Amino acid sequence: MTGGRSWDITGRFIRVWQRNFRAYSESWKIGFIPPILEPLFYLLAFGVGLAALVGNIHYRGTDISYMVFIAPALLAINIMNNAFYENTYSSYVRMYYYKTFDAMMATPLSLEEIITGEIIWGATKSLIATAIMQAVISLFGLIHYPEGLLILPLAFVGGLAFGALGMFFTGIVKSIDLFNLPIFLLVTPMFLFGGTFFPLETLPHWAQQVAFALPLTHLVNLTRAFSTGILDGSVATGLVYLAVFSLIFFPLALRKMRRRLIR
């Protein structure tokens, strides 16, 4: 019962991942549509509409076009959304409405393996959606290769961080409607102010500091570094941040889910 108890995790968590993969492959065609259309909409609205007003953006010593500036932000947001929504709404539906976890708990799977499998599945969805979206964006010549390929493993790592965060909320919300709260208070502000559609430097100092504490800011930094090929010390900072963030929220999610489900 106590936090001191060790986690009961073996490689069997892959069975949970496989369950989700199998269910996903049943309807993959629908799953593929958003990551194809989303970047097209954004690039059209911002790239064609806004870029003319904005002109070029000064980024790490060079001038880049507004389209090149926001393309990696779209990828980072996509990474965040896929894992976060998968491990909030979708995991909650499986847990509460489908009772999939209840069925699993009557098999040799441990609760920790179920949650681990769910989070790794969330990261996998981030990876799949990123690969599709990145392919679309690359058609516009907005990503610099080979550094751009690093975005794929990053999608998985970022997916783990946001999936663990989502699963933590799944462990504590009283009902599915209450996911609105972390979305409104956390996801939306990150989406708008995480260095996504305008450079962080334009914000007041205190706001920059707040933004710097949030995971999407670091994820955008990383996707932008990889997609422009302009790598510097902030890459290491960002990776360390995401690792630490995951290492905090993964055990926290396990603990909250254990408290929620073991009765």
Partner 1 sequence: MTGRAFPEDRPKEPGPVIEASRLRKIFGDLVAVDDISFAVKPGECFGILGPNGAGKTTTIRMIYGYSPMTGGMLQVFGLDIRRHPRTIKARIGVCQQENTLDPDLTAQQNLEVFARYFDISEAQAQRRANELLRFMALEHRKDAKSAELSGGMIRRLVLARALVNQPELLILDEPTTGLDPQARHQVWERLEDLRARGLSILLTTHYMDEASRLCDRLMIMDQGRILVEGAPAELIRQNVGLDIIEVASPDEALRQFIRERDLPSEDLGHRLIIYLEDRNDLYHEIRARYCGEGCTLRMATMEDVFLKLTGRELRE
Q: Where along the sequence are the contacts to partner 1 (CB under 8 A)?
A: 12, 15, 18-19, 22-23, 26, 98-100, 102-110, 262-263
Largest CA distance in the chain: 60
Nearer to partner 1, 90 or 130 (CB): 90
Nearer to partner 1, 26 or 201 (CB): 26
Round to whole Å and give the CA distance between 250 and 247: 6
Nearer to partner 1, 41 or 98 (CB): 98
Q: What are phi and psi of 152, to 5 degrees?
A: -65, -55
**What contacts 207, CB < 8 A, 6 or more positions away?**
193
Q: Which residues pair with 65 in a beta bridge?
A: 56
Q: Which of 177, 183, 152 is nearest to 81 (CA)?
A: 183
Q: What is the 3-state secondary structure (H, E, C) of 222-242?
A: HHHHHHHCCCCHHHHHHHHHH
Q: Which of 82, 80, 76 is nearest to 31 (CA)?
A: 82
Place of tokens 């902030």: 234
- CB of 2 vs partner 1, minimal distance in Å: 13
- CB of 263 vs partner 1, minimal distance in Å: 6
Nearer to partner 1, 12 or 144 (CB): 12
- CB of 103 vs partner 1, minimal distance in Å: 4
Contact 104, 17 (CB under 8 A): no
Nearer to partner 1, 63 or 102 (CB): 102
- CB of 20 vs partner 1, minimal distance in Å: 9
- CB of 31 vs partner 1, minimal distance in Å: 13
Nearer to partner 1, 95 or 133 (CB): 95
- CB of 164 vs partner 1, minimal distance in Å: 23
Neighbours of 110 (CB within 10 A): 18
Sign of CA dihedral 174, 177, 181, 186: positive
Contact 43, 140 (CB under 8 A): yes
Nearer to partner 1, 70 or 104 (CB): 104
- CB of 24 vs partner 1, minimal distance in Å: 9
